[in-house]
Structure formats: C-alpha cells, structure tokens
Structure 1
C-alpha cells in the first residue's frame, strides 16, 4: 500500500487540530507527522536542538520514524502593582515527548503515536494576583498551581485515506487549542483567557477519548471527538473512563483567502451528559457545592470561596439540603483569524486580527460567556523572521448563578474578569526563545483574604514576566 500521500499533506495536524478549532500547522498537536531536518547536528547556534544529533543516533532514529524531544520552560513572573499582593516567583515545566511514524518504521502507512509526560516545578504568583482565570496557562497542569508530574497524552492516529482518519487514546486538549495567533503558551500569550475560550471551562485538560475527521477539500474539514468528561492528567486508569457520561465535541473549520491573505473561520459545539452539581442552589448548599465541584481551567476557586464563607458568612454553610443537579451541559464557540498584511510569497509572515467567542448554558458552568480579540504578527521585524508578537484583550463573564448569595453578602464582585496582554517572543536560536510579557488584569474578585485571613480589596494587577523556552 502506497502511503506517500501521508507525507505530502499535513492531514495529521489538521485531523486533531480541527477538533478544538486550531490551525492545521500546529506542530505540537496530537499524534501526526513530525517534521525531521536532514540532520539534528551542526553548529551549536544553528542546530535544531541544543544537544544536536547525539553522534548520529538522533538522525538515524529520525529516519526510522522515532523522534524524542525534551523541552523546558522557565518563567519568572511578578505582580508589580495592584492585585492582592505584590511579589515575584519562579515557575517552570519540562515536557518529554516521543513520536513514532509507522511507515518510517517499516510497518504500515498512516499510523502515528505520540506520548508526552510533563513535570511542573516552582512557585506561582496566582494567589498574589487575585484573579480567577490563571495569568499563566501552565499553572493549571498537571495539577492546579502545584508542582507535579503526569502523563499528559498517549495517542494513536490512523489515516485510512487522504480525507479520513481516526484517533484515540489519552488526549491533551490544551495542546489542541493552537491557532495562528493564540493557544501556544510556549511562544504566544501566557494568560489562559487569551489562549482558549473560557466558556470551555468544563472541557477536561487531559482525558481518554477518540474521534474522527473528514476533510472533503484542502480548505474545509469536519471533526468529532468524544472524551471522558472527568479525565485528569494524573488519572491513567482507562477502566474509570466514561463511568459518569461523555463529553462530545464537534467542529468545522474553513480556510479562506480574501484579497490573497490567509484566514480561518471556525465553529465548534460541546455537549455532555455527565450529571453535574447545578449552580442554582439554595444558599445553604454553598458549602457543599464549593467542596464538590472542581474547575481546573479557573484555578479551582471553590476552596478560596469556601474560606471566605467560613470567615465572614458562616450562616451560608449551615445544614445542607439535597444538591440540585443538571443532567446535561452545552457550549458553543466561534472564532476567526485573518491576516491583513502579508509579504508576497511568504505565508509564514504577516500581521493579522483574531477573535474567539464562547457561550454556555450557565447552569453548571461558572462561565456564561467569554471572548478574546487582538492583533498578532509573525516575522515583521527586518532580520528577525522567526520572532512573533501579540496584543490582546480577554473577557470572562461569570454566570449570574455562580454563588450569588456569597457574592452579594461579601460584595465579592465575580461579575466578569478582564485581562490585557502584550508580548514579544524573540527566537534566539532554533532551539531557544525568549519572551517579554506584560499583563494588566482587572480581577473578577473585588475582595479576597490576605495572609492574616482578613478581607482585603483586590485592585487592578500589573504583571510582568519573562519566559524562556528551550528544546534539548
């Protein structure tokens, strides 16, 4: 069987990229073709990876369909004014990734495997900012705001034709959120609200699942995915998957080129039949709700809100009535990106606009709707073809049903949260990037507990950061 069509298209990237509405050229999406250079060696400042070709071993493995990478990020960030408190801390992570190509291994065409583990380390400034949406996406995995290690993904993809493929395994949904200008926390925005529609707060970060994609043309593709709605990065027991329902995701993506400039239109829908605790509760249920429900993409705000209730509104934690529940949840999202300037014959460079919007039922999801918009650019500085930049604004609007009694009693706010972020990412070498990042965040919480458990006002936070990304 001739599998040359696999090499001549980017259909594997398009396969899993389209699931969460990403660009088909997202190099770190789930299992698919991995580009290998003629050699991993060369001069230290020009080679693709810092450690080179391992005396020829890495080149040999690459030609046989085996690619092993170790990547590291180091991110000092600080609150220089506002927030709940000022201060600076250091956070980082390391990812170890194995990609296999069945055809290059001499087996069969169209098969790809990706396995990735990740470790996080250090201390974050999440508590100092006082925001609900994490200002650094890497704070939410593998564990929320805790140094930890986990298997983030282990996927197998099989193409049955140039237009149809199937995939399954443990899927890292955050790595599926890449678009041209957002979604890549390694080289683009850091704030989670800038990288994904926060209306997708109930989508598990890492979960067992599978799906398929159909690509009737180069410009159009459709996909469908089903995942375990309760999956977590640290849960590797496949026998537990789908024990409490499913989460289904369906998506469509259209590549367009108005006036000769690249753009995308994206639409997705989410639905789950997992029974969840409803946001609509008797006030006496607040305590149990805050202990029961976890929202990793929102930094799991339950324990923080419970501490506030215990300290200042204990009456809201009195005898608990049976919890109201929702037997299904849904969400929709739309997005686009569009270059408005591109140099001739160079599709990798240019300046463009992006916009992403998501909405939910607001009955089990604390987020009613969210959006982000801004400008992004690639390779616009003369002599710096691999640099990129972005300026954007993200808003997260919380559901009116999200702990209303506690919000009103303590004047907590929790109506919405805004973040403005700008960054410049400089490619120092092919294996090292350095990013300057500035964020101005108007936190969703107006008030929070300080280190002495006293209620303090939370002001607009100015957050500065530096991100280094190295590939070994």
Structure 2
C-alpha cells in the first residue's frame, strides 16, 4: 500500500491512497526501539511494513511467516547490542555493555472475522548489561536509550480499531506514549536517550512518565480530518512503576515485569497536532520534494508534584525548622513543539538529502526542576560515495533549571554553607553514523561529549566535580 501526495497550496500536501483506505494505524517494527532507529530517506510516501521478509535475517522461516500472515499474524524480533567506552572525564574511564531484545506480535482480525481496521498488538522486552551513564559518566542524560534497568518485561498490550473509514483510530490498553507523542523522526536516529523521550518530562514526571521501556494503561485517539493534518490525544496513568516521586538510590525501580498496570497515582492527558508540509512548494521548488512534519502539543498531569524549593510548612527546604517533606502542588503541565524538515536535496530522485530537527519543551518552575528543554540536530543522507543508504547525524541537547530550583541552591548556601547542586545546564553533543551492513543489520558508531555533568554537582563518591566526558559507542541492531 502506498500513499501518494498532491498539493493543496501553501506548501500543504494531501494523501491519495491507491487501492484501499489506510489500515488502522499499523505499528512500525521500529516502534519498539528507543534510539538508533533506522532512518529512512525523507519521503512523502506512507508504506506498511514489507510482507516479503527480505530485510530480516531469518526470512520466511521455512514458510512459517507466510502461514502466520494468512491468519493475520505478524511476528517481529529485533536485537540491539551496544558497547560504550568513556575515553576521558566522567566518573571513571572504562567500557561497558548493554543490550535489548524486542519481540512484537500483531493480529489483524480482517482475515478471520472480516472486521476491518482492527489490530491487536503485544510486545515484550529483554534488557541486559550495565548502565554506562550511572557507572562511568554520572550524567543526567542517559548516553543510550537502552540504558535501562535489567529485566524481562511486557512492553505494550493494546487493541486498536479504526472508524469513519479509518480516519479515526482508537487504541485501548497498555501503551508507551513516546512511540507516537513528542517524537522527532530525525532525532530518533541518535543514540542518546534524551533524543527519544526528552529529559525534562523524564525528570519531572513520576517514573519518567509512560516512556520506553515502560507502558501504562490508557486510551489513545488519532484523527485525520484531511491527510496533511492529524489530531492525537491520549489519557493514561502517569506512573508506570507505581513508586514514589523520590526513590531512594538503593531501592528497586518498582514494577519491572510490566504487568501491574498501576492506576493509583494520577492521569496524564496529552494532546498533539501534526501537519505535513512540503517546503519545496513553499520555496517554489515543486520539482524538489522537501517533506516536513511540524507538531505542537502538551500534557496535563493530575497528580501532586513536589516544590523544588519549599517544604510542606512553607519554609525553604534547607532552613532550620523546615519539615522533612516538600510542599506538594496538585497538577502539572508541559507544552512542546517538534519540527522535522528536509531543507536540501540535490535533485528529485537523488539519494542525497539533508534535514534538521528542533524540539522545545517548556513548563513552570513551581512543580518542576527542569523548566526548559531543547534539542536540535542535522541529518545527512547519502553523502558518502558508494554508500547511498548511510546517514550521518550531528545533534545537541540540554535542559535548563527553573527559578525556584536555582533559588533552592541559594537557600542551601545561606542556611548550610554549601550547595547541593550548582544547577548548571548539563549539555551533550552527539556525532553518529548509521551504516546498513545488510538489509537486516545496522551498524552505528557514535561519539558523544558531555559537559556540566550532573549540573556541576560534586560526585557522591569523590566529592569533586565530575570532569567533562568524551564517550565512544557502537550500536549493532539486527532484525530477525
């Protein structure tokens, strides 16, 4: 199935489906990957995953996959292996390993029941290895999206149904919202975890919110009134592990199985509007396809959140007589914008192209420590001769502390004579090269540089500020 596009004017594009309506939102195989996602060449076409399995290591498995597809079943297995080495700086130099195996199974009931536009999805994860970020770097931003607690867990479990000729798609079940919301397609190329689910919501929400590798029960709506425009909204639980906001460092991370389906904390209500744009038409270069996706959105969380400066008796947290617990405020919110845009293409059918992404998040300083986050980067397709499918990327990201968090530092200096944190913005730069070795194997060498690590706070073990760190990495992702 292919979706071709025609001009609507003002740089907007409309989708014309050949043969039949778009199927109920079909999850891509890469939806279970948090980072280092294979980045396709920028195109205004929409395609379902291939059914010939030529881009998988095991192929048709002696006809098993063809037989499963006859009954509406589709199985996908992906494995990611990573090596990380801190070349200089950080908490200590050295190498570490992490890895993940993801298995997903979908069932389209059309073949057996005749029910159109329905889809059942279940997936699981096996996570292993050590945390290079915690052990060797000491940073706030995880060096990898796979830098997660070791476990074997249920990932997602949901049913989706299309209505109104499939212009409205509804999902119900346990979902990871960062596969659809707050996502930058170009940013997903990079390995640093903050280019997936940003560091601001990861730090400001309970358990980091419903983001990889966690899911929460909820319902998601996706509506296409016209195909350049998409409205999305979801309501889900806000605390995937069910733990407290402040978790002791030596305590377990909560629900590691993914089967507890916590609903006791608060509700996260998130919305997003997406617009497809062809910049080539805006620039009067209609023979050059320069596709882009512009998104604006936000969320509201109904739970209670701690004040970064004041205790429950309204004194500064470090002041004499302050209560041990912080002051809690009901509700929390965040707004965001995500812009993916191809801005250069050698010619219409050339494999050479360049794109950029910008993502900005913002929230208040009364309930949040980090109040402004931003990531930006460039991706280049086909710049290396004889390697048209390779992608080079350069990106930077950071998040800034709010006024109350900075004043809390001044309170600490005033009442205790020392600061718990210097509240400087930790920043990271990443240079990456994604190189397909075979249709089913992707090799991605990576370089990252961190400065103002852990906001300039002293290391808990040495008492000294953590030096800026240079990190080398290698990701190998295989699709079975």
TM category, shorter: 0.7 to 0.9
**Aligned counterparts of 1:7 and 1:390: Cα–Cα separation in 2:** 36
1:236 aligns to what SS in structure 2? coil
Cα-to-partner distance string for 1:249-307 (whole Å, 9 max, x where unaligned): 011011111224111211011101112222232399999x9xxxxxxxxxxxxxxxxxx
**Aligned counterparts of 1:7 and 1:218: Cα–Cα separation in 2:** 15
**Aligned counterparts of 2:199 and 2:290: Cα–Cα separation in 1:** 29
**Aligned counterparts of 2:121 and 2:159: Cα–Cα separation in 1:** 7
Q: Does 1:251 align with 2:242?
A: no
Instruction: Please state how far the C-alpha of 1:245 moved relative to its aligned partner.
Output: 2.4
1:61 aligns to what SS in structure 2? helix
Matching residue of 2:246: none
Residue from 164, 171, 185 that aligns with 1:167: 171
Matching residue of 2:6: none
- Give 1:60-209 correspondences, 5 Å limit: 60-127=67-134, 128-140=136-148, 146-160=149-163, 161-176=165-180, 178-183=183-188, 188-201=189-202, 202=205, 203-205=209-211, 206-209=215-218
Cα-to-partner distance string for 1:133-164 (whole Å, 9 max, x where unaligned): 11111113xxxxx3112111112110012311
Q: Scaled by the length of structure 2, what TM-score is found?
A: 0.78
- Give 1:270-289 correspondences, 5 Å limit: 270-282=299-311
**Aligned counterparts of 1:26 and 1:426: Cα–Cα separation in 2:** 10
**Aligned counterparts of 1:65 and 1:213: Cα–Cα separation in 2:** 23
2:65 aligns to what SS in structure 1? helix
Matching residue of 1:469: 477
Matching residue of 1:431: 440
2:49 aligns to what SS in structure 1? coil
Which structure is higher in helix share? 1
Taking a change above 3 Å as real, the CA distance of residues 283 and 110 of structure 1, as seen in their structure-2 partners, is: closer
Contact 1:97/1:114 (8 A) holds in 2: yes
CA RMSD of aligned residues (A): 3.2
**Aligned counterparts of 2:125 and 2:423: Cα–Cα separation in 1:** 32
**Aligned counterparts of 1:117 and 1:9: Cα–Cα separation in 2:** 26
**Aligned counterparts of 1:383 and 1:108: Cα–Cα separation in 2:** 46
Matching residue of 1:458: 466
**Aligned counterparts of 1:437 and 1:317: Cα–Cα separation in 2:** 48
Q: Which runs of 5+ in 1 are unaligned?
A: 19-24, 41-46, 141-145, 290-314
Identify the range of structure 1 (250-259 vs 402-411) with the bigger mean alpha-carbon deviation: 402-411
Instruction: Please state how far the C-alpha of 1:378 moved relative to its aligned partner.
Output: 3.0
Instruction: Please state how far the C-alpha of 1:399 moved relative to its aligned partner.
Output: 2.7
**Aligned counterparts of 2:320 and 2:77: Cα–Cα separation in 1:** 47
Taking a change above 3 Å as real, the CA distance of residues 322 and 235 of structure 1, as seen in their structure-2 partners, is: same
Matching residue of 2:361: 358
Contact 2:132/2:147 (8 A) holds in 1: no
Taking a change above 3 Å as real, the CA distance of residues 343 and 219 of structure 1, as seen in their structure-2 partners, is: farther
Cα-to-partner distance string for 1:286-345 (whole Å, 9 max, x where unaligned): 99x9xxxxxxxxxxxxxxxxxxxxxxxxx8899744531110100000121111123545
Matching residue of 1:295: none
Contact 1:87/1:125 (8 A) holds in 2: no
**Aligned counterparts of 1:152 and 1:413: Cα–Cα separation in 2:** 37
**Aligned counterparts of 1:284 and 1:415: Cα–Cα separation in 2:** 28
Identify the range of structure 1 (57-66 vs 416-425) with the bigger mean alpha-carbon deviation: 57-66
Instruction: Please state how far the C-alpha of 1:406 moved relative to its aligned partner.
Output: 5.2
Instruction: Please state how far the C-alpha of 1:101 moved relative to its aligned partner.
Output: 1.4
Instruction: Please state how far the C-alpha of 1:192 moved relative to its aligned partner.
Output: 2.0
Instruction: Please state how far the C-alpha of 1:26 moved relative to its aligned partner.
Output: 9.2
Contact 1:198/1:369 (8 A) holds in 2: no
Taking a change above 3 Å as real, the CA distance of residues 323 and 179 of structure 1, as seen in their structure-2 partners, is: closer
1:58 aligns to what SS in structure 2? helix
Q: Which runs of 5+ in 2 are unaligned?
A: 1-16, 32-37, 41-45, 242-255, 281-288
Matching residue of 1:12: 25
How many residues align? The count is 412
Matching residue of 2:459: 449
